[in-house]
A = this chain, B = another copy of it.
Amino acid sequence: MSESSDKAAPSRRRRHRGTGRGDSRRDELLHVASELFAENGYRDTSIADIAQRVGVTQQALLYYFGSKPALLDAVIDERDGAAVAFAEELAAIGGFDAIRAIPASARRNVAEPNLVRLFAVLVAENLPQHAVAHDHFVARYRRLRRIVAELIAEGQRTGEFATDIDPILKAAEIVAVIDGLNTQWLLDPDDVDIIGATEQFAEGLAGTLRARA
């Protein structure tokens, strides 16, 4: 999951060959930052904590990323997009097969709790309009809803899905269930069967979409 896409570095110039091969120190910092942001949130994680865990000083981290918000951007760029990519996979499948594939997201999430936690925490932290990454998450959810809504609308066009469903409302619901189950599961993994709940949700959803008016 950690492809080092060699983005424009915030600091002035490139440090080595631009061919995209691992800048190991930078990648290490990125990885640890993502872990600590997931555990403690952005605000409650100091760049010194991150640097220390990697074994360098805070100033070395700043050499790579320039500032703490820039580090956050880098983390988000590297690790977000999984959800959107998954939604696009579903859309590519289409129809009831896509609905049946929804629980795969729960399975992915269970396999990567830290990634899930990272975004759960970041989204909540960026609810206020003035937050650093607020606009990023607004755009992300809009995209997510649009992709899923289009999947539903397409199924309605082909006659597979019932037409008495508002695609965009249903899309918001689907995204909401996945997110909400993530939250409950992160809080209390032992008491929440996220895979089972997602499966049962998908079944019910299939029934709703199949239903005649």
List chain A positions with a Cβ less than 8 A from chain B: 1, 39-41, 43-44, 117, 120-121, 123-128, 134, 137-138, 141-142, 145, 165-166, 168-170, 172-173, 175-181, 183-184, 186-188, 191-194, 196-197, 200-201, 204-205, 207-208, 211
- Asked whether A187 and B137 contact (CB < 8 A) given A124-B120, A124-B123, A177-B173, the answer is yes
Residues in chain B near residue A179, CB distance under 8 A? 176, 179-180, 183-184
Can you list 27 residue pairs at the A/B interface with Cβ under 8 Å? A40-B128, A117-B127, A117-B128, A120-B127, A123-B183, A124-B124, A124-B125, A127-B187, A138-B187, A138-B191, A141-B184, A141-B187, A142-B188, A168-B193, A169-B196, A170-B200, A173-B177, A173-B181, A173-B197, A173-B201, A173-B204, A176-B177, A176-B178, A176-B179, A176-B180, A179-B183, A179-B184
Residues in chain B near residue A211, CB distance under 8 A? 207
B200→A166 contact, CB < 8 A: yes
Shortest Cβ distance from residue A15 to the other chain B in the assembled complex, whole angstroms: 32
- Asked whether A208 and B197 contact (CB < 8 A) given A124-B124, A137-B187, A138-B188, the answer is no
Shortest Cβ distance from residue A135 to the other chain B in the assembled complex, whole angstroms: 10
Residues in chain B near residue A142, CB distance under 8 A? 188, 191
